[in-house]
């Protein structure tokens, strides 16, 4: 999604990922309604379609190039913490001590279990089948296509990969009348039958390769912080894949948390880390609600409800303002963090699209830290990395994750805002 691509661009990763991915600017929903992403206020007015492993590998390479050590095959089996330290015991009995730990260990988080942190919520859909299918008569173009009946749905994502006997798609299918356990084998006939029914025509399956059956829960931990341990990604929140939000939300959790840990390790007040919960928990809640609403829309059963849904959705999404609001919410570009009373209205919004005279903001952000965006025509101020804006907007102090920490006039006290996030030494540097 656009906001994640912007975050990846702020680490110089977006272009390479896009070079090996397909993109789409359109999602077809109920009643022929189309969610058009081209109105997104972003350098990336589309969704990127790529195997998750490509994103994982790009992040892994980046982390290692910047000094991180990634230890594969090491299992956390115990976690203990005191006032200063967290100790993680590995499966081979080694102890790893750190001042903070990020539990990014997925939906079944071991760390969550070890700390006794609840994961309240429930199962919302079972026996969903994911498969790579080759179709001779798949949907044309590069859009994402949803088809559904009262008792089934099919969702097709094109890989943009064509053979002489068809094109490859990732399909997601569900049949209300075929509810079996996750371990039940997936048959090509089953996928074909549900796709034909939900799309209303025979798509001509000529191949089925990787496939999996799974169930979806909607759950979220109440507090993303447990002492010196922070929950991020699926360890903190899970929902159905409808809406494609999980990995996007997890990456943005990480972008929000990482620089705050760095700031506190550098001497900033520990309260900086409490803002992680304040900022990311409401976003997670919203993502669960949004994805849940879409899922319930897709699986709606009563004929009258379906009739209304198919009439209303296309009309609503044909209004550019509403369409762009919905698209921006899924793409993450319109999500904002709360501002405090007295803050400028821009505080908490992303600064990514502010027009600058030099390189774009995400290029400046490749050097870690805060960035100052000066008024048009203003001379450089202080020692922070900075740029000059080309429009008439205010002076901006931009956080390392691209969100506005402070906005105001040229003589405003942006240094006071900087001091709330960093140690005195780092803020006065
Ligand atoms: C069918 C499907 C489609 C999806 N489509 C999309 C989409 O289009 N867009 C999107 O944004 N998201 C999508 N998602 C969601 C996305 O895959 C997840 O949100 C994402 O993988 C979560 O990343 P994570 O790093 O939090 O957890 P995971 O990817 O689960 O990674 C957790 C890691 O922790 C490790 N680990 C676990 N326990 C331990 C332990 N005890 N010690 C050490 N390591 C441990 C695991 O080995 C793993 O490497 C989809 C999910 C599904 C199921």
CATH number of the domain bearing residue 391: 3.40.30.120
**Is 384 within the bounds of a domain?**
yes
Q: Which residues contact 315 (CB under 8 A, 6 or more apart)?
A: none
Mean pLDDT confidence for 247-257: 98
Question: Would you say how long the chain is, in residues?
Answer: 429
d(CA 9, CA 363): 7
Asked whether 332 lines ligand 1 (CB < 6 A), one says no
Substitution candidate for ligand 1 out of 124, 154, 247 with most atoms within 8 A of CB: 247
Q: Give percent of the chain above pLDDT 90.
A: 90
What is the average pLDDT score of the chain?
95
Output the pLDDT for position 143.
Answer: 83
Report the run of H or E that residue 28 belongs to, with start and end.
Answer: strand 26-28
d(CA 280, CA 232): 9
Q: Give percent of the chain above pLDDT 70.
A: 100
What number of CA atoms fall less than 13 Å from residue 385's CA on the CB side? Answer: 17
Residue at which a domain ends, from 218, 235, 256 = 218
**Is 372 within the bounds of a domain?**
yes
**Is 421 within the bounds of a domain?**
yes
Output the pLDDT for position 323.
Answer: 94
Substitution candidate for ligand 1 out of 129, 241, 249, 332 with most atoms within 8 A of CB: 241
Provide the domain limits for residue 150: 123-218
Model-level pTM? 0.94
pLDDT band at 374 (very low <50, low <70, confident <90, very high): very high
Output the pLDDT for position 331.
Answer: 96
Is pLDDT above 80 for 217? yes
Output the pLDDT for position 164.
Answer: 84
Separation of CA 370 and ligand 1 centre (Å): 30
Query: In this predicted model, what pLDDT tens digit does every residue of 91-134 receive, in sequence order?
Result: 999 999 999 999 999 999 999 999 999 999 999 999 999 999 99
Asked whether 104 lines ligand 1 (CB < 6 A), one says yes
| DSSP code, position 92 | T
Domain count, the chain: 2
Residue at which a domain ends, from 200, 218, 236 = 218
Least reliable range by pLDDT among 269-273, 276-280, 296-300? 296-300
Least reliable range by pLDDT among 29-38, 131-140, 337-346? 29-38
d(CA 251, CA 109): 17
Residue at which a domain ends, from 218, 243, 273 = 218
Separation of CA 107 and ligand 1 centre (Å): 7
d(CA 385, CA 362): 12
Check residues 230 and 243 and name the one with the higher pLDDT.
Answer: 230
Is pLDDT above 80 for 203? yes
**Which residue's alpha carbon is at the smallest distance from atom 28 of ligand 1?**
106
Is pLDDT above 80 for 220? yes
Our CA angle for 161, 162, 163, nearest 5°, is 135
Residue 414: exposure state from Cβ atoms within 10 A (0-12, 13-18, ≥19): buried
Query: In this predicted model, what pLDDT tens digit does every residue of 3-41 receive, in sequence order?
Result: 999 999 999 999 999 999 999 998 888 888 889 999 999
């Amino acid at each position: 999604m656009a906001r994640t691509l912007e975050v990846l661009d702020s680490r110089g990763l977006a272009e390479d990922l896009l070079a090996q991915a397909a993109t789409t600017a359109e999602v077809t929903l109920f009643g022929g309604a189309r969610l058009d992403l081209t109105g997104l206020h972003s350098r990336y007015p589309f969704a990127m379609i790529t195997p998750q492993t490509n994103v994982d590998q790009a992040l892994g390479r980046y982390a290692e190039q910047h000094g991180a050590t990634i230890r594969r095959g090491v299992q956390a089996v115990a976690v203990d913490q005191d006032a200063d330290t967290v100790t993680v015991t590995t499966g081979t009995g080694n102890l790893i001590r750190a001042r903070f730990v990020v539990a990014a260990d997925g939906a079944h988080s071991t760390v969550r279990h070890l700390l006794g942190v609840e994961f309240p919520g429930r199962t919302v859909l079972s026996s969903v089948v994911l498969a790579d299918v080759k179709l001779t008569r798949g949907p044309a173009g590069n859009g994402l296509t949803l088809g559904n009946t009262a008792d089934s749905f099919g969702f097709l994502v094109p890989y943009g990969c064509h053979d002489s006997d068809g094109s490859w798609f990732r399909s997601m299918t569900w049949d209300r009348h075929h509810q079996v356990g996750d371990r039940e084998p997936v048959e090509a006939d089953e996928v074909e039958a549900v796709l034909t029914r939900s799309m209303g025509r025979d798509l001509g399956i000529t191949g089925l390769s990787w496939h999996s059956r799974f169930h979806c829960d909607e759950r979220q931990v109440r507090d993303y912080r447990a002492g010196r341990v922070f929950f991020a990604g699926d360890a903190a929140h899970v929902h159905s894949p409808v809406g494609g939000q999980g990995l996007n939300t997890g990456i943005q959790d990480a972008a929000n948390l990482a620089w705050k840990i760095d700031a506190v390790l550098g001497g900033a007040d520990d309260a900086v880390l409490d803002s992680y919960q304040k900022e990311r928990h409401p976003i997670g809640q919203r993502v669960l609600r949004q994805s849940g609403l879409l899922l319930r829309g897709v699986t709606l059963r009563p004929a009258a409800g379906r009739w209304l849904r198919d009439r209303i959705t296309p009309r609503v999404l044909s209004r550019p303002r509403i369409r762009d609001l919905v698209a921006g919410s899924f793409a993450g570009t319109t999500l904002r963090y709360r501002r405090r009373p007295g803050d400028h209205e821009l505080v908490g919004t992303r600064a990514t699209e502010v027009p600058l005279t030099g390189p774009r903001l995400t290029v400046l952000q490749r050097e870690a830290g805060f960035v100052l965006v000066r008024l048009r025509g203003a001379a450089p101020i202080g020692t922070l990395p900075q740029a000059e804006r080309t429009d008439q907007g205010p002076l901006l102090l931009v956080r390392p994750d691209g969100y506005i920490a402070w906005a105001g006039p040229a003589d405003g006290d942006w240094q006071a805002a900087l001091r709330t996030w960093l140690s005195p030494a780092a803020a006065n540097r």
